[in-house]
A and B are shown apart, each in its own frame.
Chain A
Amino acid sequence: MKNLTFIIAFIIVLITSNCNNNSNVVVVYTTVDQIFSEPVLKEFESGTGITVKVVYDTEETKSTGVLNRLIAEKDNPQCDVFWSGDPVRTIILKNRGITTPFQSQVANDIDMVFKDPDYHWTGFSARARVLIYNKNLLAAADVPRSIFDLTKEQYSGKVAIANPLFGTTTFHIAAIFTAVGDEKAKQFLADLKSNAVVIATSNGDVKKRVVQGEIACGLTDTDDAWEAIKEGANVGIVFLDQQGIGSLIMPNTVSLINNSPHPANAKKLMDYLLSKETEAKLAKSCAQMPLHKGVEIPGNIPSLDNIIPMKIDYDKTAKKLEEIQYYLKEWAEN
């Protein structure tokens, strides 16, 4: 019986040990890869003395774990700030009444294109969708310049994209739908399919396959592509459609959660995330392009000044996304 008492005591201690109600905290849920987001949040913590409690997401749940959690917690929010790697998820939350407006003064000089008209979300540091190719498998002259080149016969079986049902890939395809219209976009997807496109599990998987030389080229995000170059892989990066519809730019977004437990700290953190300093850090660590003017960035990082962006309305694209999802599922699975 003594042992049992001991065990029960141990369990109670363990259960209650995490319940210290420290009020000077802020709770963040993020879909940005931990390897990049953690250092930024840690610096905020050491700079302000506010404890940052984070829920990270994983590759395995395709960044939807956090989102489902936010939806499930709607009636009693635990989270203060949602830091997303792309605007799509934030818009889903806005439509479900989970976020609340907050206009950060720090972000005043960021273009309105990258903000929600009602300030439910504000964009910063952007990634772009790019083509990554293996230099051993594709000669410089053969590298496609437009996304529509990928349906050409010479790339048959040589192109990979991530599962279009998830993540930034969904958004990219939705953007193509809004940019060129449903009919053309569907034709493009059908051609891609008949050109034996390889569907990978994630953008990271696309990168890995191209790096390993399993496949010649694929669509991925700038941060994945830069990671490959940093690791010394023999790959190149192309911003597609610079003469056409432009490259898709996806900002990080940050949102304040409705009825959040620590709104004051949340706003401090949001101001911090939207600052030039954070953009500079993210440019350095994962090649994200700053949206503020005049942020110092390393020379090899692309700048929005040199890239023709796809001109899209993020809200509309998000709506388009919901519309085409069943079509995409059909496309991916059959």
Chain B
Amino acid sequence: MGRKLIEHPFYAIIFGSFVFFIVIPVAYTLGTALFADSSLTDNLQLLNKDTFLLLAKSCIIAFSIALLSTLFGTALGFLLYKTQVPFRSFFKIALLIPLFISPYILAVAWKDFFFLLFNNTDFISSYIGVILVLTSIFTPLSMLIVGSALANINAQLEETGFVITDFRSVIFKIMLPLIKPALITSFVLVFIFSISEFSVPAFFGVKVFTTEIFTQFSAFYNHSLAILQSALLILLCVLLLLSERKYIADAPFLSVSGKGKSTKFYNLENKKWISLFFLAGWFFISVILPFIVLIVQSFQDGIAKFVQAFELLKPTFGNSLGLALAGALITVFIGFTVAYPTWSGVETKSGKSFDWLLLVVFAIPSTILGISLIKFYNHPILDFIYSGYAIILIGYTAKFSFISAKLIGNAIMQIPNSLDEAAQIEGIALSKRIQKILIPLIMPALFAAFVINFIFCLGELGITIMLYPPGTEIMPIKVFTIMANAPQSLTSSMTLIVFSVTLLIIACLYFIGKTFFKDYSNVNN
């Protein structure tokens, strides 16, 4: 049972280390910065009408992105998970690509594209540009969330509907209400990701709340005000997630998948080609187009720059892959530990607070998190952490554990408690139950969490740039430090290489996953 696990030394160690390595440093730095030199009262006065107006503006942008992403994500998710549209297994993976490419790179590619085509970038360098680019990045996330919810609807629920009414009504009156929790989750997550996004609005010169925090931080060195403003952002994110959770906890229809669950597929008939056109169009716009821009720029001066870019990046591959691997393993491990108590249904205080800690840390802007970690870890006794890769791994853990906890938590919720209870009665020890029953059953989700965090760690820039030990070569850092003042063809080549490496890894992991989990697809149905 959950309570047992909480009392389990192992759980206590993980919980304790997370608090010790991440929460205490952050709390300590934020606390001291906030209250230093009575700056709190001074800065509270600076939180004036303008600050809140700016926050409101950022909210509107994030709201638009969240709405559009959820809308498009639902349409794509429906086509890919509920119909037999041609090439759907290809699109299921291919459409996820923008999610794994640094938003900054996509922003650059889009701006160049607009310039190539219209000789003018006013349109894209605006709120509209921010909304369009971020929508293209986050729609795959919505697609994933909504799509898997659609795939889990018990076919009988839809079939019962068809006996009574037509296709349209079934979609709007039965199917969409059934997946309302997924729609809300999608909306809330995209909103949070968008409102915390810095690089795209900064690149397009659009002033939003995150760029304001950055300005306070980097032009005025007013850390205290920057932290205070971040606190507003964190508060907003936490409140949103709180309401999301409350809603989902209250949702009576979460148990949509029951016994005899099977997915109902729709026949598109004459709409097949239109649907395929929509999918292919989306793929073209969100993936192929930026890719083409990069290729055109990379090879405009021949192949030499591409070769140079490869030589520059070569020493970074080993480090970056190793770090991403370790980061993904650690975050999956922590995510699992946090998510486990939800299975046994015994909600405990420490389980809940662990969950919340991950969330709060996740919502802290990278720069602030980076500074906190430096201030805490840069002491002679902690030098073995600060001067090595460990500090970067701590940064990854702080940033990405929340994502894996959420993914794994969702998977665990799908596994009936009785499978654990049956083993309890047989006297199987907790560690064995986890090892032999729970883990094999959620292996696909663990693997998915691993892949996603691997890719995120591989491309992480915000924290890594603050923390990377002198003299180490890390892929995203190198791309961005070289980018300054290097010829366009060189930067595009480097971007293209990173893009391709990421794609290659996704493809490899996908095929590994496919062969490994071949048996799982039928087990779970």
Docked complex Cα distance between A58 and B484 (Å): 7
Scan A255-285; emit 1 where CB is below 8 A from any B CB, else 0: 0000000000000000000000000000000
Q: How far in angstroms is the closest Cβ of chain A from B128? A: 17
Given the known interface contacts A58-B480, A60-B104, the answer about A11 and B330 at a Cβ–Cβ threshold of 8 Å is: yes
Q: Is B367 interfacial (CB-CB < 8 Å)?
A: yes
- Contact pick for B199, options A60, A65, A208, CB 8 Å: A60
Among B363-409, those with CB < 8 Å from A are 367, 371, 374-375, 378-380, 384-390, 393
Of the stretches B113-121, B141-149, B167-175, the one at the interface is: B113-121
Contacts of B468 in A (CB 8 A): 55
Given the known interface contacts A27-B471, A200-B205, A201-B205, the answer about A61 and B218 at a Cβ–Cβ threshold of 8 Å is: yes
Q: Is A14 interfacial (CB-CB < 8 Å)?
A: yes
Given the known interface contacts A18-B472, A333-B207, the answer about A231 and B487 at a Cβ–Cβ threshold of 8 Å is: yes
Q: Is B217 interfacial (CB-CB < 8 Å)?
A: yes
- Contact pick for B387, options A19, A64, A208, A214, CB 8 Å: A19
Q: Is B313 interfacial (CB-CB < 8 Å)?
A: no
Scan A27-53; emit 1 where CB is below 8 A from any B CB, else 0: 111000111100000000000000111
Docked complex Cα distance between A56 and B470 (Å): 8
Given the known interface contacts A35-B482, A325-B220, the answer about A54 and B121 at a Cβ–Cβ threshold of 8 Å is: no
Q: How far in angstroms is the closest Cβ of chain B from A250? A: 15
Among A76-107, those with CB < 8 Å from B are 76, 78-79, 92
A15→B393 contact, CB < 8 A: yes
A231 to B, closest residue via Cβ? B487
A61→B465 contact, CB < 8 A: yes
Scan B466-493; emit 1 where CB is below 8 A from any A CB, else 0: 1011111000011011111111100000
Q: Is B215 interfacial (CB-CB < 8 Å)?
A: yes
Interface residues on A, range: 35 or more
Q: Is B345 interfacial (CB-CB < 8 Å)?
A: no
B470→A54 contact, CB < 8 A: yes
Docked complex Cα distance between A227 and B322 (Å): 35
* Most chain A CB neighbours (cut-off 10 Å) among B120, B218, B371: B218
Q: Is A204 interfacial (CB-CB < 8 Å)?
A: yes
Q: Is A69 interfacial (CB-CB < 8 Å)?
A: yes
Docked complex Cα distance between A124 and B62 (Å): 46
A interface: dominant SS: mixed
Docked complex Cα distance between A26 and B119 (Å): 47
Q: Is B240 interfacial (CB-CB < 8 Å)?
A: no
- Contact pick for A59, options B215, B220, B483, CB 8 Å: B483
Q: Is B329 interfacial (CB-CB < 8 Å)?
A: yes
A201→B202 contact, CB < 8 A: yes
Docked complex Cα distance between A217 and B379 (Å): 49
Contacts of A224 in B (CB 8 A): 485
Q: Is B323 interfacial (CB-CB < 8 Å)?
A: yes
Docked complex Cα distance between A92 and B104 (Å): 29
Q: Is A57 interfacial (CB-CB < 8 Å)?
A: yes
Q: Is A212 interfacial (CB-CB < 8 Å)?
A: yes
- Contact pick for A28, options B219, B380, B470, CB 8 Å: B470
Given the known interface contacts A11-B326, A201-B203, the answer about A65 and B393 at a Cβ–Cβ threshold of 8 Å is: no
Contacts of B322 in A (CB 8 A): 14
Given the known interface contacts A33-B485, A58-B484, A92-B221, the answer about A14 and B326 at a Cβ–Cβ threshold of 8 Å is: yes
B218→A62 contact, CB < 8 A: yes
B470→A55 contact, CB < 8 A: yes
Contacts of A34 in B (CB 8 A): 478, 481-482, 484
Docked complex Cα distance between A29 and B374 (Å): 15
Among B290-325, those with CB < 8 Å from A are 322-323
Docked complex Cα distance between A214 and B115 (Å): 8
A52→B481 contact, CB < 8 A: no
Docked complex Cα distance between A61 and B380 (Å): 28
Q: Is A139 interfacial (CB-CB < 8 Å)?
A: no
Q: Is B461 interfacial (CB-CB < 8 Å)?
A: yes
B332 to A, closest residue via Cβ? A7
Docked complex Cα distance between A71 and B223 (Å): 11
Contacts of B488 in A (CB 8 A): 208, 231
Scan B429-457; emit 1 where CB is below 8 A from any A CB, else 0: 00000010000000000000000000000
Q: How far in angstroms is the closest Cβ of chain A from B423? A: 18
Contacts of A15 in B (CB 8 A): 385, 388-390, 393
Contacts of B121 in A (CB 8 A): 214
Contacts of A230 in B (CB 8 A): 487
A27→B470 contact, CB < 8 A: yes
B470→A58 contact, CB < 8 A: no
A52 to B, closest residue via Cβ? B471
Given the known interface contacts A19-B388, A329-B215, the answer about A33 and B484 at a Cβ–Cβ threshold of 8 Å is: yes
Docked complex Cα distance between A34 and B384 (Å): 27
B389→A58 contact, CB < 8 A: no
Contacts of B390 in A (CB 8 A): 15
Docked complex Cα distance between A170 and B367 (Å): 22
- Contact pick for B471, options A54, A68, A69, CB 8 Å: A54
- Contact pick for A72, options B323, B371, B387, CB 8 Å: B371
Docked complex Cα distance between A329 and B217 (Å): 13
Q: How far in angstroms is the closest Cβ of chain A from B480? A: 4
Contacts of A142 in B (CB 8 A): none
Q: How far in angstroms is the closest Cβ of chain B from A46? A: 15
Docked complex Cα distance between A58 and B491 (Å): 13
Q: How far in angstroms is the closest Cβ of chain A from B296? A: 14
A18→B485 contact, CB < 8 A: no
- Mark B residues whose CB is within 8 Å of A: 104, 115, 119-121, 199, 202-203, 205, 207, 215, 217-221, 322-323, 326, 329-330, 333, 367, 371, 374-375, 378-380, 384-390, 393, 435, 461, 465-466, 468-472, 477-478, 480-488
- In the assembled complex, 11 residue pairs joining A and B whose CB atoms fall closer than 8 Å, in A order, are A14-B322, A27-B471, A33-B481, A34-B482, A52-B471, A54-B471, A59-B483, A67-B218, A75-B379, A208-B488, A325-B220
Besides the known contacts A35-B486, A73-B378, 12 further A-B residue pairs in the complex with CB atoms under 8 A apart = A11-B326, A14-B389, A18-B472, A53-B471, A53-B472, A55-B468, A55-B470, A59-B484, A61-B465, A68-B221, A72-B375, A165-B215
